[in-house]
Amino acid sequence: MSYPQPDPAGDEPLAREATALLQSLVRARTVNPPGDEAVVQQALAHHLQQAGFHVQLLEAVPGRPNLIAELGTPDHHHPGEPVDGKILTLLSHVDTVLADAGDWRRDPWGAEVVDGELWGRGAIDMKSQTAAEIAAGVGLARKGWRPRSGLLRIIVCVDEEVGGTLGARWLCEQHPALVRSDYVINEGGGAQLHVGDSRHYSIGVGEKGVCRFAVRARGRAAHASTPGVGDNALLHLVPVLERLRDSELPIDLTDAPRRLLEGLGLLTPERSADDAVLLLRERAPSLAPLIEPMLRVTAVPTMASASSKINVIPASAELRVDCRIPPGMTVDVARERVASLLEGLDVEVEFTETIPGNGSPPSGPVYEAIDAWLGANDPDAGASVPTILPGFTDSRWFRATFPDCQAYGFFPHRHMPLTQTYPLMHAADERIDLRDLHFATRAYRDLIRTLLG
Ligand SMILES: [Zn+2]
């Protein structure tokens, strides 16, 4: 597979368009709740329509429309019509988490450009990707490009930040024929990982699941003024907390994490997975906490309850634990890990909420096209590596609804590494290096052509 050499001068109109789009997206407040995405969605719909896309706005509730834009082959096409060839969906969401202007150094909705960085809520998560995907699609459409076969779809969802009930989930469950996709490119990858002297791009291939549980201890109530009379259930949880603090669950390498550690040069035939993790901590101390959750089950106590009165020794106490499991691992394995961690303690464990992880293979046409693009456009970078998100994105609804769908997280950051972008997400001073926005826009333009002809 070969790509034309990057041509910064020829790409300038594309870059300008992506910047302008991102500025207008950031300036529109779409904090969810309540979301208020309608104005943005209508403007994007108009923009895409003008360029030749067929556009539909579909809403689960008034004022929260999802956008589906399609560009078919020259002889094509009506929405919902069978498609000859592969359907490539560029997916994003335009709602954001809130921003407290008092915590920011610049206006979170100002979209100011300072020293080459565009500031504002959504600059990374993920209006930048919406802007880049649309600029890429519109740029091609205006030049008269159409897929040789298949279909290009751009889907912009609402409501992702609170779980997608009115957005991707609703589209997949209620309108599967309109959003069925063979390939999806979404958020959740493309970050740059610096390990020692080498740097690697991530390609997001999966998301961890959750396997949350409660730990309960029993005792005997008494007045708190006479502790020797009762048996304090809360104190029975102390050894549970100590184990959760002190013991790490074992490294459990599924396919993608194994390839991740190998690609980063950490796992070799001579080196064990445990030693590979020690080496990661040594070579990339600030990156390691972001990588390690991909490699194992995590169990983090977050809530506790016991007596409802300050002067009563509790007869029962409960701890809630947010436990997450890598995709490809069965829930039974996670339960075994938890059981062995808490072995011998006088407590009962109840699993309260289980959602398996989800993923796509670290291979196949989209994965390989991304990998090849990176090789051609940043040849000095090390091997690209598959990564897993510790949380969820809208990709999971597509993977669940369309079992053959291959979905990947990819927005390549050439200039800001993950250790810089990660702390800005959902936090103050979110901003993006405009060179990264333009790099990603070119990536989408080229990937569309590679995958659809
Ligand atoms: Zn997001």
Residue 335 backbone dihedrals phi, psi, to 5 degrees: -65, -40
Query: How far is ligand 1, taken at its centre, from the CA of residue 122, in Å?
Result: 8
Quickly tell me which residue has 């999806």 as its tokens. Answer: 184
Nearest to 389 by CA among 258, 281, 256: 256
CATH of region 12-195+358-452, choose from 3.40.630.10, 3.40.640.10, 3.40.50.1100, 3.50.50.60: 3.40.630.10
Angle between helices 12-27 and 38-51 (to 10 degrees): 160
Provide the residue type at 16 as one letter.
R
Nearest to 92 by CA among 38, 144, 154: 154
In the chain, where the domains are located: 12-195+358-452, 210-355
Query: How far is ligand 1, taken at its centre, from the CA of residue 175, in Å?
Result: 22
Contact 440, 77 (CB under 8 A): no
Query: How far is ligand 1, taken at its centre, from the CA of residue 426, in Å?
Result: 9
Query: How far is ligand 1, taken at its centre, from the CA of residue 333, in Å?
Result: 29
Nearest to 237 by CA among 310, 317, 313, 344: 317
Distance CA 273, CA 269 (A): 10
Query: How far is ligand 1, taken at its centre, from the CA of residue 77, in Å?
Result: 31
Distance CA 161, CA 447 (A): 27
Nearest to 190 by CA among 420, 365, 440: 440
Q: What is the pTM of this model?
A: 0.94
Query: How far is ligand 1, taken at its centre, from the CA of residue 228, in Å?
Result: 52
Query: How far is ligand 1, taken at its centre, from the CA of residue 28, in Å?
Result: 16
Query: How far is ligand 1, taken at its centre, from the CA of residue 392, in Å?
Result: 9
Query: How far is ligand 1, taken at its centre, from the CA of residue 425, in Å?
Result: 9
Q: Does domain 210-355 have CATH number 3.30.70.360?
A: yes
| β-bridge mates for residue 386, sequence order | 203
Distance CA 146, CA 246 (A): 57
Chain-centre distance of CA 299, in angstroms?
20
Query: How far is ligand 1, taken at its centre, from the CA of residue 341, in Å?
Result: 33
Output the CA torsion sign for 33, 38, 41, 47: negative
Query: How far is ligand 1, taken at its centre, from the CA of residue 393, in Å?
Result: 7
Query: How far is ligand 1, taken at its centre, from the CA of residue 159, in Å?
Result: 10
Query: How far is ligand 1, taken at its centre, from the CA of residue 259, in Å?
Result: 25
How confident is the model at residue 80, as a pLDDT? 65
Query: How far is ligand 1, taken at its centre, from the CA of residue 60, in Å?
Result: 20
Query: How far is ligand 1, taken at its centre, from the CA of residue 144, in Å?
Result: 31
Encode the chain (453 residues) as per-residue pLDDT tens digits: 444 455 555 689 999 999 999 999 999 999 999 999 999 999 999 999 999 999 999 999 999 999 999 999 987 666 667 888 999 999 999 999 999 999 999 999 999 999 999 999 999 999 999 999 999 999 999 999 999 999 999 999 999 999 999 999 999 999 999 999 999 999 999 999 999 999 999 999 999 999 999 999 999 999 999 999 999 999 999 999 999 999 889 999 999 999 999 999 999 999 999 999 999 999 999 999 999 999 999 999 999 999 999 999 999 999 999 999 999 999 999 999 999 999 999 999 999 999 999 999 999 999 999 999 999 999 999 999 999 999 999 999 999 999 999 999 999 999 999 999 999 999 999 999 999 999 999 999 999 999 999
Question: DSSP string spanning 76-112?
Answer: ---TTS--SSPEEEEEEE--B----GGG-SS-TTT--
